[in-house]
Amino acid sequence: MELMSGNEAIAQGAWEAGCTIGVAYPGTPSTETLEAFAKKEGVYAEWCVNEKVAVEVGIGASAAGARVLVTMKHVGVNVAADPLFTAAYTGVGGGMVILAADDPGMYSSQNEQDSHYYAQAAAIPCLDPADSAEALRFTREAYDISERFDVPVIIRSSVRISHTKTPVEAGERAEAPARPYEKNPAKWVMMPAFAKPRRLVQLDRIDKLRQWVETCPYNEVIEGKGTVGVVCAGAAYQHVAEALPDASIFKLGVTWPLPAAALRDFADSVEAVYVVEEGSEYLKDAVRACGVPVSDTPCPLPRAGELSPGLVRAAFGLEQPSHAPAATDLPGRPPALCPGCPHRLVFKELSRMRAIVTGDIGCYTLGALPPLSAMDTTVDMGASVSMAHGFELALAGTEHRPIVAVIGDSTFAHSGLSSLISTVYNRGAGTVCVLDNRTTAMTGRQGNPFNGVTLQNRPSRELNIEAVVAALGVEDVRVVDPNDAAAVRRALKEATGSDDISVIVFRSPCVLLERHVEPPLFVSGSCTACGACVTLGCPALGRDETGRALIDPALCIGCGHCTQYCRFDAIVQE
């Protein structure tokens, strides 16, 4: 028996099932799954440029007969939806399991969404583990389900399941010889002539899945002492079990398709049925569609964010357990770019020039927060470049502030490159800043095509951003050191003054990669309390009661960013 997070357990389950290939694009809360899988014996694992590519690689490996694991976060499922929906027609060769890790509460995401809807829309079976032991078991057995019904299987997790460690009993690996590949265009070539018959295959599969789910071992009824019945799945089950110890619970392990007859039998055994789920009404609507009358809780459940036992008790009008009141006098701790972050001066200069900045997904999104306040939009991966083109189109012929897109190196490979191709093709203007910090920093410093680091440290090809951009036909491409304030200011001024499209590659490694630290800086007696340095938003910088600058030596890494903005030479090296 050992403790594993849900992500580690999913990796273990895939390995035990004989899965040999794992593919993904890193995205919290799913990232650690493939990192854990990559350390197993006898497997191949890689980071793909995006989730769509990962699913397509997975489909290819499955078609060739291998068992495959594909992992992503919930918004990654949006990117992967195109091949995912068609894979529900083609079916599989070797078993194919897809982890969709949802993020209720948006701890590291731009939205809340429920991946159950994708399973329902694509008609792909979906399993919801409620702890790490189930995550391991469900994943291991999902490969047999996938091959039995000739369909990919979704393991739907959430941030609480993915990151909480609970006991598991790890098992041995069962080797699964690759299924021999046989040419079969009627199965794999989804042109209309073949897709129409595959649609009928899918419909027949759905009927068989609906029969199977009624007696499958993944749904469980926990009989209680009272008359209340609750239907729930995943992390919500843990909260319900703690909050309502007397309730009867129908714990769904399979959330698509639902066991309609079993749910109706459950409803007959209690006086009232309630559905408890996080930030969605998927389950409530689906249970009602099974012919089960669902009652509303006395008080509404929260419509957003994660649940807790306290929130569940409150929804049922029950007294809250006694607890100490939350402290109200604690100072705020807003997130900030790290001390020495190479993105800081870029945002400082964009703020100074009052640019309209279309941002992207990554830790540099923190450039939107005070005191930098240098980002206007963030929507999805790659949107910065496309939206900048949209701004240019809408404001054409008017006097307007400079329009600048900001995107990281990994995100540029993910979907920014295709956005730039579209802009170049349509002779768009504007400035694109690629913040090349040599890693995929936000999700834990994974490799990407532009730093050439692979998941299992295999030999690779490091792609050259400026060469790729120049090959697209962009003539104004330059590489700039983002730690040099004067160089950053000059490059931005020249690029935004052009009538053509310009790309600036700001290249400097993330401070967490090399962790290079110089002696900390300190503030001399010549400080005039002008406050220019603290506008950089560095966590190491603050002010004393007189307004003079302060530097925390425990946080300062001696990068010298602040010295470039002090007109009085008051910040010096010890």
Distance CA 102, CA 157 (A): 6
Task: Evaluate whether 124 touches 271 at the Cβ level (below 8 Å).
Answer: no
What is the chain's percent helix, strand, coil content, to nearest 5?
35, 20, 45
- Local structure of residue 479 (DSSP, 8 states): E
566 is in an annotated binding site: yes
Task: Evaluate whether 317 touches 290 at the Cβ level (below 8 Å).
Answer: no
363 is in an annotated binding site: no
Strand, coil or helix: 521: strand
341 is in an annotated binding site: no
The DSSP string of 321-356 is PP-PPPPS-PPP----PPTT-TTHHHHHHHHHTT-E
538 is in an annotated binding site: yes
Distance CA 120, CA 565 (A): 55
**Which stretches of 49-158 are DSSP H helices?**
51-63, 74-90, 116-122, 132-149
Distance CA 563, CA 308 (A): 47
Distance CA 185, CA 65 (A): 15
232 is in an annotated binding site: no
Distance CA 166, CA 9 (A): 9
From the CB of residue 426, how many other CB atoms can be counted at a distance below 10 Å? 9
290 is in an annotated binding site: no
- Local structure of residue 518 (DSSP, 8 states): P
Contacts 24+ apart (CB under 8 A), 282-287: 282/114, 282/116, 282/117, 282/120, 282/255, 283/116, 283/231, 283/232, 283/233, 283/252, 283/255, 286/116, 286/120, 286/255, 286/256, 286/258, 287/231, 287/258, 287/263
- Look-up: residue for tokens 């702890």? 131
Q: Bridge partners of 573?
A: 521
Strand, coil or helix: 520: coil
Strand, coil or helix: 165: strand
Judging by beta carbons within 10 Å of its beta carbon (0-12, 13-18, 19+), is residue 172 exposed, middle or buried?
Answer: exposed
**Displacement of CA 224 from its chain's centroid (Å):** 37
Residue numbering of the annotated binding site for [4Fe-4S] cluster: 527, 530, 533, 538, 556, 559, 562, 566
**Residue numbers belonging to the annotated binding site:** 527, 530, 533, 538, 556, 559, 562, 566
